[in-house]
Chain A
């Protein structure tokens, strides 16, 4: 018999990066509802404090820039200290949700912009996986979920930098699933399509309709629908699932 979500997550912590974004907030809420302690990471201190006020002590805000290597190390030291002092339960889950999306044709993409995509969408989640897996391996269990994209899975004209960064994260996901399985850590990803968040809020009505023509479901997805998929992969219900990329896209062709 598999252990239930509430049994496991009520005694565990989950770190969510990009916690104040649309999908981030939804997965934070989902984890809190399951009884988990959530380390909510973001750069917007006011938004983090607001989350903290509404969620109470089950939510521990962590304000730092995910692409600042030293800040990430300091954060994990802080996290490790809280766990060893009994302030928070052991780290079981990591959701790499923080990301940025650049829409830019090849001819006008600056190298600095490409590097920024790679820093935030690939290197930052990679470092988080490196540090989180060390904490998880102490208990020989853990679950990591990366938020990738259908743009990375299928490609999209005018979005090569973003697509490359997300496709690289998919590659890391599949490889780390194999590498970390012996220590009881699962690594999966969700690949959202067109989701109603701040990343897509600049699309006007006409642009949205043009996108919806390429979505079989004919509409945008919601952050909650993505969070449901993340939560499934995070939970013991997916205990025998690793190295997978779960599309949450209403059947989308970017």
Chain B
């Protein structure tokens, strides 16, 4: 499974949404499922999936799917083009 698919799985698992809803534009607090509690679960899911430990500043900045990808790239998780 490639990293893009792993990322989608992490979002669907953490937020309880369909895979087709996980687009780069999906943003924190714009859907009921992505609230502050789900954000914490999402962080845990991403850390677990990609075996990283995110800095608090990065968690604060993780406001969209696109942003999540950018941040994960800092931890050597690549998504290709």
Total A-B pairs, Cβ < 8 A:
26
Asked if residues B44 and A84 are in contact (CB atoms below 8 Å), the reply is no
A84–B51 CB distance below 8 A: yes
Q: Which DSSP category, helix, strand, loop or mixed, fits chain B's interface?
A: helix
Instruction: Name A's interface SS.
Output: helix
Closest residue of chain A to B42 (Cβ to Cβ) is A137
Check B40–A183 contact: CB distance below 8 A: yes
* B40 in contact with A134 (CB, 8 Å): yes
Q: Which residues of B contact A80 (CB under 8 A)?
A: 47, 53
Give the size category of B's interface with A: 10 to 19
The answer to whether B53 touches A137, judged by C-beta atoms less than 8 angstroms apart, is no
Whether a CB of chain A sits under 8 angstroms from the CB of B48 is: yes
Confirm or deny: A119 has a beta carbon within 8 angstroms of a beta carbon on chain B.
Answer: no
Q: A137-B41, A183-B41 are in contact. List 14 more A-B contacts (CB 8 A).
A: A73-B53, A73-B55, A77-B53, A80-B47, A84-B51, A130-B56, A133-B40, A135-B44, A137-B40, A137-B44, A138-B44, A138-B47, A182-B37, A183-B37
23 contacts between A and B (CB under 8 A): A73-B53, A73-B55, A76-B53, A77-B53, A80-B47, A84-B51, A130-B56, A133-B40, A134-B40, A134-B43, A134-B44, A134-B47, A135-B44, A137-B40, A137-B41, A137-B44, A138-B45, A138-B47, A138-B48, A140-B41, A182-B37, A183-B37, A183-B41
A contact residues vs B (CB 8 Å cutoff): 73, 76-77, 80, 84, 130, 133-135, 137-138, 140, 182-183
Q: Which residues of B come within 8 Å of A, CB atoms?
A: 37, 40-41, 43-45, 47-48, 51, 53, 55-56
